[in-house]
Amino acid sequence: MRQSVAVANAAGLVVGYALDSLLGDPRRWHPVAGFGRAAGALEQRVYRPDRTAGVVFTALAVGVPVLVGAAATVATRHRPVGRAVLMAAATWTVLGGRTLRHESKVMGRALRGGDLPTARRRLGHLCGRDPSTLDEAELARATVESVAENTSDAVVAPLLWGAVAGLPGLLGYRAANTLDAMVGHRSPRYARFGTPAARLDDVLNIVPARLTGLLTIAVAPTAHGDRGRAWRVWLRDRNDHPSPNAGQCEAAMAGALGVRLGGRNIYFGRSEVRPYLGDGPRPEARHLKRAARISGAVGLAALGVAAAYPVTVGRLAGAVARAGWRDSRLTATLGNTAGSAVRRPPPPTPVLERCKFRECVVMEHRKATHSLNLRGVAGWRGLRGVVGWGGVVGIVTCRTMSDSAWLAAPGADGFVGRAVWGGGAR
């Protein structure tokens, strides 16, 4: 059953990615837009200009989608088809790869046609900069930087969290990333209130951003980029960006395209000066189509990683974790009962095998999901047995002279066995 669920998760990621690639974002009734409205209403109720209120806001706004995803996971744990359908729908909802590439291409066409008013209006679909004074080069730079960063935020990170944590990972990540876009910036209103959401988003993107940078380097030749140059720029410049994650993506993109990113960014009411990333000229309209192509190739590569995870590393990690948890419980119980007298348990209905001379095999367990193999040697003073459950974990002794005796093996769930031996053994 676990294998079926793992396959269902992987299939759901693939189908959801295909739906996003073919259809893009829903034009009406987009769930993420609905979440944004609900989060805005919650903000009005809990807002105070301090971090404590921000923690409460973030915990509620992210916790509810995670709980919804967890409930759906439990409800479909024995229904692989239902799980795959829900994973596909959630993946389609949280991804934004097609829309991102479309906006990049639209911006490129507007800039190539010299239509700066249209390009300035379209920039708001990608980032929050003030486009009113930006020229062609600055509009192109803003687009390339947004495509690079949002390839991680809107494609790679959702896929990875969906692979690792299933439905709760998909919904929880998208909620956290949406909150960061809403309140995670350094405006006077959100300087303290938005800090918890921004920090949570930073933590959730640590691995996806670095994977995005590496995949960008790997797929650079698909857009006539230089993989070696992208690698050198990424190593040199990725940590110069004030964001712990955006620089990973932007430095790799700058190297892949052979352009220089960074500089002065003007937002509504404030400006920031970013360090330069990469070598070469400032981006132009011709670079936007190549950036979109790289973004698409990175998304496909990330899909391969994400789809393979549930049926490979995910299953192995889950098996190891379950085994470690069971062993820790058993070890703790054996340690707590070491040295104590063995108590006679209530008589179970034992599964017995007839004993050989001086030797018997006992098979009995309180739970049907496990088995106890206990082999003991009968002597004049009693019976001594070794408990095995994935290896030797303890020794039990029954001190008796009777023809039959109960053996209680202390364990995580309570082992019970019965030893029987024939006349020659005594």
The predicted structure's pLDDT at residue 378: 40
Using DSSP, state whether 24 is helix, strand or coil: coil
100-151 pLDDT tens trace: 999 999 999 999 999 999 999 999 889 888 898 899 999 999 999 999 999 9
pLDDT at 272 over 90: no
Q: If you ran DSSP here, which 8-state letter would residue 156 be given?
A: I
Confidence of residue 419 (pLDDT cuts 50, 70, 90): very low
- Tokens representing 18? 């295909």
Report the predicted TM-score, pTM, of the whole model to 2 decimal places.
0.74
- Tokens representing 91? 């993946």
Cβ proximity of 384 and 392 under 8 Å: no
What is the residue extent of each domain of the chain? Answer: 2-311, 339-425
Number of Cα atoms under 13 Å in the Cβ half of residue 21: 14
Where b means 16+ CB within 10 Å and e means fewer, 310-338 reads bbeebbeeeeeeeeeeeeeebeebbeebe
The predicted structure's pLDDT at residue 318: 58
Confidence of residue 2 (pLDDT cuts 50, 70, 90): low
**DSSP letters for 215-268:** HHHHHGGGGT--HHHHHHHHHHHTTSSSSTTHHHHHHHHHHHHT--EEEEEEET
Lowest-confidence segment of 73-77, 132-136, 275-279, 313-317 by average pLDDT: 313-317
Residues with Cβ within 8 Å of residue 223, at least 6 apart in sequence:
256, 257, 290, 291, 293, 294, 297
For all residues of the chain together, what is the average pLDDT?
80
31-77 pLDDT tens trace: 998 999 999 999 999 999 999 999 999 999 999 999 999 999 999 99
Cβ proximity of 2 and 78 under 8 Å: no
- Tokens representing 35? 């979440």
Q: If you ran DSSP here, which 8-state letter would residue 425 be given?
A: G
